[in-house]
Amino acid sequence: MRISGTNRIPQIIQSLRELGRYEIEVGVFGSDDSFYAMIAGVHEFGITIRKERGSIVIPERSFLRSTFDEKSDKWVKFMKKQLEHVLQGRMDAKTLCERLGAKMVGDIQVKLTELNDPSNASSTIAQKGSSNPLIDSGGLRMRITYKVVRR
């Protein structure tokens, strides 16, 4: 029995090399809107603001790092599944990265929306009319994005 067909090994090697040339950056980028990048940093790590008459403590409410910790295994599985399309020549490496970036953004936005601990202070709830600690106008959630960067 003789099997004939197209040798796709060179294309597969090229696709894998191309995939290795991309990085996915996810978050709130200062170049896009430095105010929201600052707000993201404050919530991600927490901060104590000292004033003459005391201090205001904004506790850590990690939505970026915690999503990475919780979802990284699922993202690897997603990428492996998408990689099949790249190896079969039905998708290019950049498209795979774009799809993964969009999935990561969606998962981070869900985490940001659902996070409720530590809760807001009662004075904050009264001021903004909501108990969701990371959602006020929706501006922070809306600015979570990704970039596919070629190295």
Q: pLDDT tens, 68-80?
A: 999 999 999 999 9
Select the more confidently predicted residue: 83 or 121. Answer: 83
What pLDDT, on a 0 to 100 scale, did the predictor assign at position 19?
Answer: 81
Q: Specify the range with the lowest mean pLDDT, choosing from 52-61, 101-110, 121-130, 142-151.
A: 121-130
What pLDDT, on a 0 to 100 scale, did the predictor assign at position 5?
Answer: 67
What pLDDT, on a 0 to 100 scale, did the predictor assign at position 2?
Answer: 56
127: pLDDT strictly greater than 90 = no
What pLDDT, on a 0 to 100 scale, did the predictor assign at position 9?
Answer: 82
What pLDDT, on a 0 to 100 scale, did the predictor assign at position 70?
Answer: 97
What pLDDT, on a 0 to 100 scale, did the predictor assign at position 121?
Answer: 79
Angle at 126 between CA 122 and CA 127, to 5 degrees: 115
What pLDDT, on a 0 to 100 scale, did the predictor assign at position 77?
Answer: 96
Q: pLDDT tens, 1-47?
A: 455 567 778 888 888 888 889 999 999 998 756 889 999 999 999 99
